[in-house]
Amino acid sequence: MVTAEAGTKKIYNIKVNRLQENEKLSNNNYLSILEIDGYDINFNKETLEYTISIKDEDSLKITTKTEGNAKVSIEGNNDLKNGSIIKITVTAEDDTTRNYIINIKSNRNNILIITLLGIVLISVIVVVMFVFKKNK
């Protein structure tokens, strides 16, 4: 516990890992497996950035496995849309990190645009036919 001059107190926790003689914490922050359900990304542990075109998902089912005792955290895998970025951080035992990035492309906007263009085209055809019949 540390007490400031003003009298406020703050508690700090210190984590100590005692290593055996000649033992070192691993710096291995690689993934050995990165799979995205329904997509083939051709994973290579040395490749840190991938781009996929999603269908109509709001999130992806991502499976990871680390080499050794590293820990994994995944950010940004929700409310996916065109331009979203999923960041997978692998933290080794010695706290060094490696980030794998998945860039998201989405066809949702394209479907909306195509639908609207279809409606406009049909409307124009109906108006032209109506005008053509009226002028006969």
pTM of the model: 0.68
- pLDDT given for residue 108 in this prediction: 60
Asked whether residue 118 is domain-assigned, the answer is no
Low-confidence ranges of the chain (pLDDT < 50): none
User: Which structural domain, as residue segments, surrounds residue 61?
Assistant: 25-107
The angle subtended at Cα 91 by Cα 21 and Cα 104, nearest 5°, is 165
Asked whether residue 67 is domain-assigned, the answer is yes
Distance from C-alpha of 27 to C-alpha of 69, rounded to nearest angstrom: 10
Asked whether residue 18 is domain-assigned, the answer is no
- pLDDT given for residue 20 in this prediction: 80
Asked whether residue 133 is domain-assigned, the answer is no
Asked whether residue 127 is domain-assigned, the answer is no
DSSP type of residue 73: E
10 Å CB burial of residue 76 (0-12, 13-18, 19+) is middle
Asked whether residue 29 is domain-assigned, the answer is yes
CATH of the domain at 85: 2.60.40.2340
Total tally of structural domains belonging to the chain: 1
